[in-house]
Amino acid sequence: MGGRRTNLALLFLLALAFLTGWVAFALFGWPSRLVLVVHALAGIGLLLLVPWKSLIARRALSRRRRPRVWWASLVLGLGLAISLVFGFLHSAGRWSVGGDLTAMEFHVGAAVCILPFAAWHVLARPVRVRLRRAELAAFLTRRSFLRLGAFGAAAAGGLLVLPQARRSPSGSYELGSFTPSEMPGTQWMFDPVPVVAPDAYSLSVGARRVAYEELAGFSDGVRCQLDCTGGWYATQDWEGVNLARLLGPPPAWAASIVVRSVTGYSRRFPVGSLPALLLAVRAGGAPLDPAHGFPVRLVAPGRRGFWWVKWVSSVELDALPDWWQPPFPLQ
């Protein structure tokens, strides 16, 4: 394979792996699995290109006039290797790295860290990304389709022979179902676990304030699965108050519900999802512990963990649509 074609294939697969990773994070259950198959194929495809890319890299590095910041390309390679290793470890069943840290966190962390290096690598080099018409015509030949098919088959073969531990469609491992204290205390990114004194706490619902004691007096419940993007899931019996009961029927102008944490973390939901949302004060019959959202956390069935706002401080209706927010929290 020519150097340019190898580099363009790397660019395509890297972008595909990165994008499908985030799409899988946004989805729940089987739709997530569908995307993750493409994700895994892209990742294995990157690995299959190593022999061709090594030739390009060795040629460039052995020239008398080496690229000035050649080490940054090696950082890119190292970061990609770290991400791949932790991706494979996760899928093979080694989901824990120690403490509350998971292989998935390292997998995604390394992928995010190499982003600037990848952008620099492509932008600082004379790479023509647009295909010429003649190149496109050459691409549409039977021979290149056969080659593409063989490449796809090799990636699929790789996926079949790699160890795959039993896990949920989203890739998560079951951990602490019906034993809330055994769930890891994962945060989305940098949220510290706040200590909230229940007698000093009240929840702001529109213009009203509701004390913890009043919230703890409700016993609406739901049994559902918390599927964390850190790579684990747990089913619990959550108990508290249905949000619809606290808010009442939403006025016609309301398009979304904003649920905010004492840490400033927030998520915006479509107003139509109101009947499904619960503000939980207990899991498995016991009050939540601080890492899992004491005094009050949101339970959002059918949504990944980053929607389940912990340490809820306020709930308010808003006229803005629910998509008016970054697709993933930035905090």
Q: Containing H/E element for 96? A: strand 96-98
Cα separation, 32 vs 57, in Å, equals 35
Are the C-beta atoms of residues 48 and 154 closer than 8 Å to each other?
A: yes
- Cα of 161 vs its chain's centroid, Å: 25
Residue with smaller CB distance to ligand HEM, 40 or 215 = 40
List 27, 35, 103, 111, residue binding ligand HEM (CB under 6 A):
111
Stretch that binds ligand HEM, among 88-96, 220-228, 284-292, 319-327 (CB under 6 A): 88-96
Per the listing, tokens 């009043």 go with 214
**Nearest to ligand HEM of 248, 302 (CB atom):** 302
Residue choice 43, 176, 180, 230 for contact with ligand HEM (CB under 6 A): 43
Cβ–Cβ under 8 Å, residues 216 and 280: no
The residue with tokens 């998971």 is: 102
CB of 67 vs ligand HEM, minimal distance in Å: 4
Which of helix, strand or coil describes residue 284?
Answer: coil
Q: Which residues contact 207 (CB under 8 A, 6 or more apart)?
A: none
59 vs 223 by CB, closer to ligand HEM? 59
Q: Is 108 left (phi over 0), alpha (psi -120 to 50) or beta?
A: alpha
Q: How far is CA 287 from CA 239, 250, 258, 278, in A?
A: 9, 29, 24, 15
Answer whether 84's CB lies under 8 Å from 46's CB. yes
Closest CA to 71 of 116, 121, 10, 135: 121
Instruction: Please state, as a whole number, how many other Cβ atoms lie within 10 Å of the Cβ of residue 225.
Output: 18
- The distance of closest approach from Cβ of residue 268 to ligand HEM in the complex, given in angstroms and rounded to an integer, is 20
CA–CA dist 328, 267 (Å, integer): 9
Q: Pattern of binders to ligand HEM over 133-172, x per CB under 6 A?
A: -----------------------------x----x---x-
Find the shortest distance in angstroms from Cβ 40 to ligand HEM. 4
Does position 35 interact with ligand HEM (CB under 6 A)? The reply is no
Give the binding range for ligand HEM (CB under 6 A) out of 54-62, 188-196, 235-243, 265-273: 54-62
Single out the segment in contact with ligand HEM by CB under 6 A; choices: 74-82, 182-190, 274-282, 304-312: 74-82
Q: Nearer to ligand HEM by C-beta: 129 or 319?
A: 129
Query: By CB under 6 A, is residue 122 in contact with ligand HEM?
Result: yes
Our finding on whether 97 is near ligand HEM (CB under 6 A) is no
Q: Is 186 in the site for ligand HEM (CB under 6 A)?
A: no
By CB under 6 A, name the binding residues for ligand HEM: 7-8, 10-11, 14, 17-18, 21-22, 24-25, 36, 39-40, 43-44, 46, 53, 56-57, 59-61, 67, 70, 73-74, 76-77, 80, 83-84, 87-88, 90-91, 107-108, 111, 121-122, 125, 127, 162, 167, 171
